[in-house]
A and B are shown apart, each in its own frame.
Chain A
């Protein structure tokens, strides 16, 4: 299980990109943190999620 935004989700073995396309997140509006570090966008399709990983997807909204 992978902890994503505080929720345990069964996505071990998927890449970050594969996970994101199963969600409603807009890839152009997110920053992804994995175990305390930001994941470069170019590595979304190369970074495989493992059991016990902790992920936070920050999805920006408009306004300022």
Chain B
């Protein structure tokens, strides 16, 4: 038996406090990229009872993703947008999901991100991270941007941090561990960076802006 929305909100109110939960329930977050960062961030935010998630990715689930991303072997070949929607709905059907199975470009960003209060950068390529960051901060001055950079390899978990670069730009990660240096990606460290991003988002929504 799936609990009712009222039962679910009651639990969230107990855990987060009614004031904060009201803000979380009213918030819309766009997650750009549904890989190791984005899929884990989406799970955290769905459990936290965010009102609406905009999920954006053009790619399909591959066996190589399963080592760190929130998909299952039976979902290989499916679009990440639809596989993740299925998984999130099973966790909590009361977070509204809006999916876009497209590649994010400078031409479609305005439309894709319009409704979002907070934009979450969760791409894998450095150039795409920089493009989204620059575009949002230059053209969407009312939005917050939370980005991730540096979570590859086996280095210490304690090197992964959240920094506030500008008033509306938060950056999570160790800043240096590049997957292209052949140091691999480890589920725990990617999830750690994803948790930093998700937590920064939740704190912004709760009105706790300082790090």
Contact = CB atoms under 8 A, between A and B. Distances in A.
In this complex, the interface size class of chain A, counting residues with CB under 8 Å from chain B, is: 10 to 19
B137 A31 contact: yes
Nearest to B167: A36
Nearest to A30: B130
A63 B37 CA distance: 9
B150 interface: yes
In this complex, the interface size class of chain B, counting residues with CB under 8 Å from chain A, is: 35 or more
Interface in B110-134: 122-127, 129-130, 133-134
A58 B149 contact: yes
Nearest to A27: B130
Interface string B162-173: 000111010101
A60 B130 CA distance: 7
B133 A58 contact: yes
A25 B144 CA distance: 25
B165 A28 contact: no
Interface of B: 33, 35-38, 122-127, 129-130, 133-134, 137-138, 147-152, 165-167, 169, 171, 173, 175-180, 185, 190
